[in-house]
Each structure stands twice: as C-alpha cells, then as structure tokens.
Amino acid sequence: MADKLKFAVIGGGSWATAIAKMLCVNQKEICWYMRNEVAIDHLKSYKHNPNYLSSVEFDTSKLVLTSDINEAIQYADYLIFAIPSAFLEGELSKITVPLKDKIIFSAIKGIVPETSLIVGEHFHIQYDIPYYNIGVITGPCHAEEVALERLSYLTIACGDPDKAKKVAENLSGNYIKAKISDDIIGTEYAAMLKNIYSIAAGIAHGLGYGDNFQSVIMSNAIREMKKFIKKVHKMKRNINDSAYLGDLLVTGYSIFSRNRMFGNMIGKGYTVKSAMMEMSMVAEGYYAVKSAYKLNQGYGAKTPIIDAVYQILYEGKEAKAVFKKLTEELD
C-alpha cells in the first residue's frame, strides 16, 4: 500500500532531511525539493545533505531531486512542507501548477508572517485547500535524534483520519512511532507556541536561572498553552498528550533545540540580530512570538510568558528586568 502513494518533501533543512530519511524506509522513491542546487549536486555525488544532518546517508536511487518546486508538486500525491514559516510564502509564490487536488501536510512549526496564520489555515484561506486535505506533523521529535536513529514519536493530525493513517504508516519505522489525531488546529498551535516557551527557557538559562526555575517555566507554559489554544479552537483535548506537553518539554530542555539556543544567547546579552547571525538555523519562535502576541490581543488569554518574550525581542526591554517581573507572576 505504501508504494502506491507518491510523496514529495519540500525543504532542504534538518527537519526536511529527517522526513526524507523516514519516508525512504517505506517508499521505493520520493521526490525531494530544495532550492539550493549546490546541495542537490552534493547529495547526488556524496549521498548526504552537506548542510544539515550530514551523517545521514541516502540511497540516491530512491530520490528524485529537484530545485523546481512545480516539478515536486506535479510528482506527488502528498506534499510535506518542511521549510521555515518565514520563507513559506516566498516558495509558494513560485508555484504555477495547481495545488487544489494535492494533500498537504505541514511539518512547519510556526506562523506565516504575511498573514499571521498557522500553516494549515494559510493553505486553506489563501490557496483554497479544503481542511480534509490538510494535515500536520508534530513531535516530540528532534531531527538530530532521527539521524541517530533514537526512538522518537510523531503525532499526525488531519481532519480525514484515513489520510493521517497513511502518512503515519509511511513515516513509521523501527525507531519512529506515529499516532494520529483529529486536533489539526490545536496541535499546530501547540507546535508554534512551544517554540516561544523554549526561547523563554533559553533566556532564563542565559540569565543564570537554574533547573528549579526552568521547571516552573515549563509547568506554567503548558497551562498557558492550554488557555491560548482553548481560546483559538475549543474542543476536547488532553494537553498532557505527547503532541502538546511532550513536544514542549523536548523543545524546552533539549541541547538540539535551536529556539532554546537562541533564547540562551539573548539571555547572555546578544542582540536579536547578532544571535540570528551566529546561528546557522532559523529559530521559528522569534517570528511566532510576534504573531502569537498580536493574536492574543483579540483572544485575551492570560499569557505572561509570551508577553515577556515579546517585550524582550520586539520592544527591546532588558531581559533581566523582564524576567525579574515574570518570576512574580509565575507559580
């Protein structure tokens, strides 16, 4: 059954590379779009992505590599987008072939800056893709641990459970366990929000706060996440499930978390610009906090952690002073 479906991965970063690795276990062939032609040539010659997860070796006979996004779209039934949300619309603007009949799964953990929408909503509103053809791939799962073939878990959410099952089947393997969910909106917002809380955890670490305070931030963050998501999309969900709490914890604590790394640099006194220049990967939470903060002006959820990160990153307030005030608001 797996081989009857055609998949294309859109993106050339670490998460796209990890997804391509997972799919190659179950598919005879996949299409992989990345805009960097030098990386494609390197992959063809040396069997690994030169820029991300370079330890992962691919059987290139299974890869249809292209720098033309339209070729990837025409090839596949299922499109998995795994590019930073800040660059999504720029890539979508290159599309000249129909998207309407494609099944789109987002592995992007952020908000599209041009519309302030999560990716699923962006595809639905801007490109008229029906919700039953849109899905989300969330963790807790770091690309680096997929590369190391360490046991990892995925949650696949879609309005159509059959499509979610098909994606779950094609991503599952000896070290990947995938389950399905019908909470497409909630899981995608959780994936976006946990990056903001990870930046907060990183800032705390950079300022010299210890593990005790980190645990307080995380316990407050999951409650804050619950309040925010409930305002956005009210339905029955268990916020302690892996897609919400598990993904939050791994992003807040892991050495592989780029958002935590970014926050740590801010806490140590880096400017936003200098921290971004030093990092080789995009910290999605930087873009997400602005959108989440503005969205919440309408929702009115109590979000002291989001507010604190926004004040530091966008209002230029001193991290030390903001966090001193935040310690009085958390419990």
Together in a domain, 135 and 264: no
What is the Cα–Cα distance from 202 to 268, expressed in whole angstroms?
A: 10
Task: With respect to residue 230, please indicate whether it lies within any of the assigned structural domains.
Answer: yes
Together in a domain, 78 and 141: yes
**Single-letter amino acid code for the residue at 131:** Y
Stretch 100-129: mean pLDDT:
93
Together in a domain, 316 and 289: yes
Query: How does pLDDT run across 63-87, given as a tens digit for each residue?
Result: 999 999 999 999 999 999 999 998 9
Q: For the chain, how far is it from start to end, CA to CA, in angstroms? A: 50
> CA separation (Å) from 293 to 41, 190, 286, 309?
41, 14, 11, 9
Stretch 180-194: mean pLDDT:
94
**Under 8 Å between Cβ of 119 and 284:** no
Tell me which of 21, 166, 194, 226 is the catalytic residue: 194
Together in a domain, 106 and 197: no
Q: Which domain holds residue 16?
A: 7-182
Domain boundary among 182, 206, 227: 182
Phi-psi region of 76 (alpha: psi -120 to 50; beta: other; left: phi over 0): beta
The pair of structure tokens assigned to 59 is 């059987």
Q: Average pLDDT, whole number, for the chain?
A: 95
Task: With respect to residue 65, please indicate whether it lies within any of the assigned structural domains.
Answer: yes
Burial label for 115, CB within 10 Å (0-12, 13-18, 19+), is: middle
Whether 194 is a known active-site residue: answer yes
Task: With respect to residue 210, please indicate whether it lies within any of the assigned structural domains.
Answer: yes
Residue 185: count other Cβ atoms within 10 Å of its Cβ: 21
Which spans in 245-300 are helix H?
247-253, 258-267, 272-278, 284-299
What is the Cα–Cα distance from 195 to 138, expressed in whole angstroms?
A: 12
Question: Among 44, 43, 46, which Cα is nearest to 17's?
Answer: 43
Q: Please report, for the domain that includes residue 242, its CATH number.
A: 1.10.1040.10
Query: How does pLDDT run across 204-260, given as a tens digit for each residue?
Result: 999 999 999 999 999 999 999 999 999 998 999 999 999 999 999 999 999 889 999
Together in a domain, 67 and 193: no
**Under 8 Å between Cβ of 22 and 176:** yes
Domain boundary among 122, 155, 182: 182
Together in a domain, 310 and 246: yes
Can you state the percent helix, strand and coil of the chain, rounding each to 5?
A: 55, 15, 30
Query: How does pLDDT run across 274-316, given as a tens digit for each residue?
Result: 998 898 777 889 999 999 999 999 999 999 999 999 999 999 9
Together in a domain, 146 and 208: no
Together in a domain, 151 and 46: yes
Together in a domain, 166 and 195: no
Together in a domain, 151 and 15: yes
Together in a domain, 240 and 136: no
Tokens 């849109």, residue? 134
Contacts of 310 (CB under 8 A, 6+ apart): 289, 290, 293
Together in a domain, 248 and 234: yes
Share of the chain above pLDDT 70, in %: 99
Binding-site residues, please? 87, 109, 143, 258-259
Residue 90's pLDDT band (cuts 50, 70, 90): very high
Task: With respect to residue 1, please indicate whether it lies within any of the assigned structural domains.
Answer: no
**Under 8 Å between Cβ of 144 and 256:** yes
Question: Among 175, 129, 183, 174, which Cα is nearest to 155's?
Answer: 183
Binding-site residues for NAD(+), please? 87, 143, 258
Task: With respect to residue 2, please indicate whether it lies within any of the assigned structural domains.
Answer: no
Binding-site residues for substrate, please? 109, 258-259
* Model pLDDT, residue 116: 87
Share of the chain above pLDDT 90, in %: 91
Considering its fold, how many domains does the chain have in total?
2
Give me the sign of the Cα torsion angle 167, 87, 225, 330: positive
Give me the sign of the Cα torsion angle 49, 51, 52, 56: positive
Task: With respect to residue 28, please indicate whether it lies within any of the assigned structural domains.
Answer: yes
